[in-house]
Structure 1
Amino acid sequence: MRFGIFIYDGVEPIDLATFGVLSMARRIAPQIEVCTIAPKAGIVRLSSGLDVIAQFGIDDAPGCDIVIVTGGPGWEDQTRSPATLAYIRRVHASGRIASVCTGAMILAASGVLDDGEATTKRSVVPPEVSPLARMRAMYPRIDAREAAIVHSGAVVTGGGVSLCIDTTLHILADMLGEQLAGETARILEYRRAREANSNAKAFLAG
């Protein structure tokens, strides 16, 4: 089973915890494969200057069982990229797609969230406007929810920053079973945080 992680210049480094969760899950389920995909293969400069290497560009990306779109300050540029938006639509048309943090704003711009429920990052540093509020204002066809995770059909959107961990665990539970997700949370030493988050009001919607 192949998981693709879509990155781009300006991704918030903490969103790469998505990769970290999947890396730990592979210790239990070695059939999991993970690849990084960007607008172009090669060096991608994340927010605050961290450089990572994307294995594939969108033109040569392999087929994935799901692609997870990361978030960060670079999301606005990606919403104006016809190539990125076309790639998102192709992935959605052929299978599953997900987002963490402001990656949902890229999904929103592509149209794949229209007529469904979604969430995105809520907490910001003033005077920045909450991405969730921007989603509501910019994309009225989306039912933007105050939730940590929204699972709507073949699309999963996660809330801001550290919730990328919970979102990835939710995806693992959905695709490979709760036992795998629970064991992954255990070896991440994240079980207490996951339980606390899942017990919070409006944790999961859709």
Structure 2
Amino acid sequence: MLFGIFIYDGVEPIDLATFGVLSMARRIVPRIRICTIAPNAGIVRLSNGLDVIAQFGIDDAPVCDVVIVTGGPGWEQQAVSETTLDYIRRVHASTQVASVCTGGMILAASGVLDGIAATTKRAIAPPEVSPLGRMRSTYPQIDAQEAPIVDSGAVVTGGGVSLCIDTTLHIIQRMLGEAVASETARIIEYQRARKANMNREEFLAG
């Protein structure tokens, strides 16, 4: 089972917790594989200067069981990149696509969220404009919700920053079952936070 993590220049480093959660889940389900995909293979500079390596570019990216699009300040450039948007559309047409944080804005720009419910980062530091507010005003065809996670079937979108952990655990639950998601939460010592979040009435929408 192959999980693709889509990264790009300007990704927020905390969004790579997506990779970290999957890495820990491999201890339970060794058949899990993870790869990093970017517009071009090679060095990707994250938002605060950390360099990471994308194993694949869009042109040679493998077929994945799910591709998770990360967020960060670089989303604005990716949201106008036809190469990236075409890739998102191709993934959506053949498999599962998901996003964390402002990765949802890239999905919105690609059109794959049209007619369905979705979410993205809500909290901001002034004078920033809330990405969720921008989703509502720019893409009125999307049912933009404040829920931390929105599962619309073919697409899963997660809210801001640390919710990448909960969103990844939700994807694991969908694909591998609650027992795997619960055990993954336990070994990353996140089970209490996950339980508290899941007990919030609005936590999961769809």
Q: Per the shorter chain, which TM-score range?
A: over 0.9
Aligned-partner residue type, residue 187 of structure 2: I
SS at match of 1:73: coil
Give the corresponding residue for 2:141.
141
Q: Distance in 2 between matches of 1:200 and 1:38?
A: 34
Partner in structure 2 of residue 39 of structure 1: 39
Q: Match for residue 93 of structure 2?
A: 93
SS of residue paired to 1:47: coil
Runs of 4+ in 1 over 4 A off after TM superposition: none
Fraction of identical pairs, as percent:
78
List per-residue Cα deviations over 1:70-115 (Å, max 9, x = no partner): 0000000001100000000000000100000000000000000000
- Between the aligned partners of 1:163 and 1:23, the Cα distance in structure 2 is 17
Residue 117 (structure 1) aligns with: 117
- Secondary structure of the residue aligned to 1:192 is helix
How far, CA to CA, are the matches of 2:162 and 2:200 in structure 1? Answer: 15
> Per-residue deviation at 1:129?
0.7
Counterpart CA distance in 1 for 2:181 and 2:82 is 35
Cα deviation for residue 201 of structure 1 reads: 3.0
For the pair 1:158 / 2:179, whether they are aligned, the reply is no
String of CA shifts for 1:10-45, please: whole Å, max 9, x gaps. 000000000000000000000000000000000000
CA distance in 1, matches of 2:196, 2:127: 30
| Unmatched runs of 5 consecutive residues or more in structure 1 | none
RMSD of aligned Cα (Å): 0.4
What CA distance in whole angstroms lies between the structure 1 residues aligned with 2:42 and 2:202? Answer: 39
- Residue number in structure 2 paired with 1:205: 205
Distance 1:133 1:202 in 2: 18
- Which amino acid counterpart does residue 33 of structure 2 have in structure 1? E
Q: Which amino acid aligns with 2:86?
A: A
Q: Give the Cα separation in 2 of the matches to 1:175 and 1:160.
A: 22
Kindly state the Cα deviation for residue 167 of structure 1 after the two structures are TM-superposed. Answer: 0.2
How many angstroms apart in 2 are the aligned matches of 1:154 and 1:19? 21
Structure 2 spans left out of the alignment, 5+ residues: none
**3-state DSSP class of the match of 1:49?**
coil
Partner of 1:19: 19
Aligned to 1:61: 61
With structure 2 as the length reference, what TM-score do the two structures score?
Answer: 1.00
Deviation at 1:62, TM superposition (A): 0.2
* Matching residue of 1:185: 185
Aligned length: 206
| SS of aligned partner of 2:186 | helix
1:165-195 CA deviation, whole Å, 9 max, x = no partner? Answer: 0000000000000000000000000000001
Whether 2:23 is the aligned partner of 1:5: answer no
CA deviations 1:126-161 (Å, max 9, x no partner) are: 110110000000000000001000000210000000
Aligned to 2:175, what secondary structure does the other structure show?
A: helix
Cα shift at 1:200:
1.5
Matched, 1:195 2:198: no
